[in-house]
Structure 1
Amino acid sequence: MPRFAANLSMMFTEWDFLDRFKAAADAGFEAVEFLFPYEHAAEKVGLALAGAGVEQALFNLPPGDWAKGERGMAAIPGREDEFKAGIETALAYVHETGVKRLHMMAGHADPQDPAAQKAYRASLAYAADRLAEHDIDLLLEPINGKDMPSYFLNDFDQAAAYVRESGRLNVRLQFDMYHCELIHGDVSGKLKALYPLVGHVQIARANGRHEPDASGPDYPRLFAELDGLGYEGFVGCEYRPAAGTLEGLGWFSDFRKPA
């Protein structure tokens, strides 16, 4: 049976951020993830995590100026120093949370641009080697062009090629089934083909990015396939509740951690 991590950037937003950890634990989640913790002191994030008794599954490296539309720096030539400084910032939160997976956002760039490709490869190598010193996996996630137009990493096979090319055991694929459905369809086939590279899984309904339901992808089937493949990691619930977090947890009733 899959183990689920509540995404605190999208779920439990009825609570202040540092209160969401306990709210997720009370709802039966045994882990959490979020986009970014950097607006809060690392020590406070660590205390909220420990106080709730949940595990930190994942968060992202600093993305640049999110408010101005930046979505990562890894593929952006000229941002190398800022990118490297961001890794050091993230490591302070690694120390407080014990997280073992960090996602590297690529940024807005043409995936066919040789300069962007060169910058991305260099960022990947640097980040992977730096994080390996702390026994942390670096995750690469393809993001669909509807949600994030002009994003550099927008294809699962492209991402898989970068994972393989890196030659580094701690570089893994972040397999978001929602993005896979919108980019490729046939989530099951793509999951089976790329499973040896997968380091983390995320979910959301294809229509509206809400709670997983019968409108697709076929999550009961996909959860069973994850079990059959031997996946032991967390499944991140990176969705926007349609009508309140707790009101939308009916799908989770068979999976929640006992009180």
Structure 2
Amino acid sequence: MARFSANLGFLWTDRPLPEAIRAAGAAGFHAVECHWPYDVPVAEVRSALRETGLPMLGLNTRRGNVEAGDNGLCAVPGRSEEAQAAIVEAVDYAEAVGAQAVHVMAGNAAGEDAHRTFLRNLRFAGEISVSCGIGLLIEPLNRFDAPGYFLKNTAQAAAIIAEAGVANLKLMFDCYHVGRTEGDVLDRLRALLPLTGHIQFASVPDRGAPDHGEIDYRTLFAQIDALGWAGPLGAEYRPVGETGATLTWMTPA
């Protein structure tokens, strides 16, 4: 039976992160995850996690200068010093709050230099995270939402995981991004399941709640369960209106 994680980068964004964690617990989620929690004191996040009993599955490295168009730094040539500082910050925060993984954001880049830069920074991330028991994730983003992003599809991500040789590096498989650009989500997931560290979802194509759109999530959740996936699935969708009012999909799932 599917279990779910609330991505608090999109859900309950009208509340401070500790209160969003509590709201997720009250709504029946089995875990939480977030994007960039760094402005929130560690003690407040730890307290909310302890109170609710929810694990924190993961968080992202910083994007960089968002106003200048940054969407991650780790594949951007010439910015490895900033990228590695962001990795250290993310691993330290993840360890402090007990998060299980860090999503290493590649950023907007292309070409062989970007490829080499990303590999170098992923290996750095592996060196500082593996002793903490923290996993690393990379995630391809679809070309419609993130046209300049370095990681464009799951085949590219799988090749980088193989080449990097980092023991704790896995794929973040987002059904929404795969559904927008690669076709049959279940076939891709079945092929990539051994490389997958986390699964996320949202409706296709509007990234709304998973109760409409091109993917029948009630069926897909059952199929994922049949594949033997045991972890909570990450609800990373943009709610229309108050988050709680969009959660009717959880009951049949």
Which letter maps to 2:57?
A: A
- 1:133 aligned counterpart, secondary structure: helix
User: What is the CA distance between 1:245 and its match in structure 2?
Assistant: 0.8
1:99-248 → structure 2 map (5 Å cutoff): 99-110=99-110, 113-248=111-246
On the 8 A contact 2:106/2:149 being kept in 1, the answer is: yes
1:222-243 residue CA offsets vs partner (Å, 9 max, x unmatched): 2122112111112110001123
User: What is the CA distance between 1:90 and its match in structure 2?
Assistant: 1.6
2:95 corresponds in structure 1 to 95
User: What is the CA distance between 1:84 and its match in structure 2?
Assistant: 1.6
Mapped pair 1:34 → 2:34: yes
Mapped to 2, the partners of 1:7 and 1:72 lie a distance apart of 18
- 1:56 aligned counterpart, secondary structure: coil
User: What is the CA distance between 1:154 and its match in structure 2?
Assistant: 0.8
1:46 corresponds in structure 2 to 46
Which letter maps to 2:131?
A: E
2:250 corresponds in structure 1 to 252
User: What is the CA distance between 1:17 and its match in structure 2?
Assistant: 2.6
Unaligned runs of 5+ in 2: none
Mapped to 2, the partners of 1:32 and 1:234 lie a distance apart of 9
Unaligned runs of 5+ in 1: none
Which letter maps to 2:185?
A: V
1:173-216 residue CA offsets vs partner (Å, 9 max, x unmatched): 10000000001111011111111111000000013101002422
On the 8 A contact 1:42/1:92 being kept in 2, the answer is: no
Which letter maps to 1:163?
A: I
Question: How many residues were matched structurally?
Answer: 253
Mapped to 2, the partners of 1:186 and 1:172 lie a distance apart of 21
- 1:201 aligned counterpart, secondary structure: strand
Mapped to 1, the partners of 2:43 and 2:86 lie a distance apart of 17
Which letter maps to 1:137?
A: G
Mapped to 1, the partners of 2:173 and 2:186 lie a distance apart of 11
4+ residue runs over 4 A deviation: none
RMSD value over aligned CA atoms? 1.4
* 182-191 vs 64-73, greater mean Cα deviation: 64-73
On the 8 A contact 2:122/2:166 being kept in 1, the answer is: no
- 1:36 aligned counterpart, secondary structure: coil
- 1:236 aligned counterpart, secondary structure: strand
- 1:2 aligned counterpart, secondary structure: coil
TM-score of the superposed pair, with normalisation by structure 2: 0.95
